Structure 1
């Protein structure tokens, strides 16, 4: 009998399908550290949603780890794809080194999506509009409604979501069922109606492709990963240039430059999308003022 065939036998191409400068870590880090919204006292709110166990909380921890220069675990994590570990609407701020100020962006973590249980789409729609207060405990049977103590009746611009991030594990893309896809599409439609930019973060890339597990720098040479991203892009409509593969910190006890580079490159693009949204909203407001 012949030997067992490799899961991904295709040889890696010499030319990557997307360019990234692996030496740009410090430049991207300084960009993130120096970022300030054009509008004074504004805060960029980034909402993460996606499958249960996809790595939303791990991505938050990974971002904080890169910014802090050490492994951090501010958001509790569970790798069980069957259970929704995150139960409450939680805002995560990132303190700067002097601890007296915070970065002008925050992440919101929510309960994961699933076929039968998980977060309700209507709750995500309310979060996009800034209607959900911190600490709200998601109920898969009933959505938040006006009059509830966690329903935000007075919304200021910092409560609203400015970037929507869909988090999907690379090794589970083929297993996403039609109902979850429908929910993602419905969430995307609601965000689009609010002009909120949308990106996807693809996690667990090292678990999906052995060539990437061997060397993270193969991420943009992997034909297999590119096919998975193209499949996801076709299913939910997020353009390929708005989809970013990352490896979250999970088993590591020390930072790794290649992991940092992908995290920072992704974070920089998310910030840029949010900044464009700020500028678009500001120009709309100024235009309305002139017409009045």
Structure 2
């Protein structure tokens, strides 16, 4: 706890501070800012605190600090008002949907995320009640740091009204503004996103030699089944999670510069509309690597949109041809052009990689989680190994953004990975974090090491598939 003590002259100090207050214009919340905000308030501990406390200014203060750690400057009051407004909108829309049906009203972009947080539990109104008079006075004056420089007392400006703060000060001192002694206490809370453990919980070497070693391991990989020369890995994930960007990133590592072969970017709907199979070359004129990366249309939480779950079986079994145009309303039919009726083993999927956005794991809509569960079951029935590639870890955790080598020392990243493990029912060993190339023009050693390590895991999982096939063939020969 830090303690700062200042002595002011009677009346003059408070007047000086009030006159120095600056009125600033309101800045609207950006989509990425709201997304981060919902992810934070959706965390079980924070959500429990907000939902159960009558006066929860401390929790909103923590949310404000976490927002700042992500690069967004919002006061605790702004966070509280934002959540209050969003909860009110959510309740209104939910009631209207219950009366009129989900398709009869204009879509609210945050409904699914809010429903993931509040849909299965009653929305408490405790947090929306007014704070007591002392808190109401202290909030704008202390928590929001509304004083500007005066007699060596320097803090930041805040959206306030000077006359209102005079009234607040009068209320705090019973109309006696002859303040002679002021003590300011500041509790410093280290956000979880900035907390790291001393020893990494996974060991990874971050140097050029390791990158070269990983690249050589991928180049020289050979499937254990002689009829297959390239392992086929299928990418599945929500819209905007980074499936196409992941392929581009792997391709960039082996090309020696950032490339963008697959269509990638930001959109409310999937930019990938075809089933694509990509072969990565070792350099511009090099040979194809022994791995084929298969990209799909993005999953969406609403029915009749995005990748159809029924198409997954066709892809896994090798029936779907390259460049097949997805139709969300109608899955692939055996009579479709290019349909493979009797696919070879080399045309089947040997490993499934779920590509998930680390910044959105905690607010994954229920419908999307159900789709992923259905896909998991299909893959399990076919004996296809699966792992999760967690993207945008640098956006999720400031500690990782500061230095990517902190990835396995970050408490927050490990918690996100544990949440993925819980939601998908997959072991933590089946989850690997990466940082895609999305805005850089030059390669980064640490990003390359993470990306290549993820590919190595895919090849190891594909080996598990081939081993199972070999065992099955061996058993057949034994019976014969």
User: What TM-score bracket applies, with the shorter chain setting the length?
Assistant: over 0.9
Unaligned runs of 5+ in 1: none
**Counterparts in 2 of 1:50 and 1:98: CA distance versus 1, 3 Å:** closer
**Counterparts in 2 of 1:100 and 1:248: CA distance versus 1, 3 Å:** closer
**TM-score, normalised via structure 1 length:** 0.95
Q: Shift of the alpha carbon at 1:56?
A: 0.2
Segment drifting more, 228-237 vs 13-22? 13-22
CA distance in 1, matches of 2:479, 2:420: 42
Segment drifting more, 40-49 vs 182-191? 40-49
**Larger RCO, structure (CA 8 Å, separation 6 or more):** 1
Q: Shift of the alpha carbon at 1:94?
A: 1.3
Q: Shift of the alpha carbon at 1:39?
A: 2.7
Contact residue 135 and residue 150 of structure 1 kept, 8 A:
no
Give the one of 260, 265, 269 matched to 1:78: 265
CA distance in 1, matches of 2:342, 2:285: 29
Alignment-derived partner of residue 89 in structure 1: 275
Q: Shift of the alpha carbon at 1:227?
A: 1.0
CA distance in 2, matches of 1:254, 1:98: 17
Q: Which residues in structure 2 correspond to 1:95-244 (within 5 Å)?
A: 95-97=281-283, 99=285, 101-116=287-302, 117-244=305-432
Alignment-derived partner of residue 6 in structure 1: 66
Alignment-derived partner of residue 211 in structure 2: 25
Contact residue 199 and residue 409 of structure 2 kept, 8 A:
yes
CA distance in 2, matches of 1:252, 1:100: 24
Alignment-derived partner of residue 50 in structure 1: 237
Contact residue 385 and residue 465 of structure 2 kept, 8 A:
yes
Contact residue 257 and residue 443 of structure 2 kept, 8 A:
yes
Segment drifting more, 231-240 vs 195-204? 231-240
Segment drifting more, 196-205 vs 174-183? 174-183
Q: Shift of the alpha carbon at 1:49?
A: 0.4
Deviation digits for residues 25-55 of structure 1, max 9, x if unmatched?
2211111111112333512100000010100
Q: Shift of the alpha carbon at 1:140?
A: 1.0
Q: Shift of the alpha carbon at 1:99?
A: 3.3
Q: Shift of the alpha carbon at 1:66?
A: 1.0
Aligned positions, number: 291
Alignment-derived partner of residue 478 in structure 2: 290
Q: Shift of the alpha carbon at 1:97?
A: 3.6
CA distance in 2, matches of 1:72, 1:142: 33
CA distance in 2, matches of 1:279, 1:227: 32
CA distance in 1, matches of 2:264, 2:391: 14
- Bigger fraction of residues in helix: 2
Contact residue 219 and residue 290 of structure 2 kept, 8 A:
no
Contact residue 87 and residue 111 of structure 1 kept, 8 A:
yes
Q: Shift of the alpha carbon at 1:74?
A: 1.1
Alignment-derived partner of residue 38 in structure 1: 224
Unaligned runs of 5+ in 2: 1-56, 70-190
Contact residue 49 and residue 166 of structure 1 kept, 8 A:
yes
Deviation digits for residues 241-292 of structure 1, max 9, x if unmatched?
0100000001110110000000011111111110221122112112211211
CA distance in 2, matches of 1:277, 1:139: 29
CA distance in 1, matches of 2:227, 2:318: 17
CA distance in 1, matches of 2:426, 2:333: 29
Q: Secondary structure at the match of 2:234?
A: strand
Deviation digits for residues 195-224 of structure 1, max 9, x if unmatched?
110000000011111111111111111111
**TM-score, normalised via structure 2 length:** 0.59
Q: Shift of the alpha carbon at 1:98?
A: 7.3
CA distance in 1, matches of 2:392, 2:362: 14
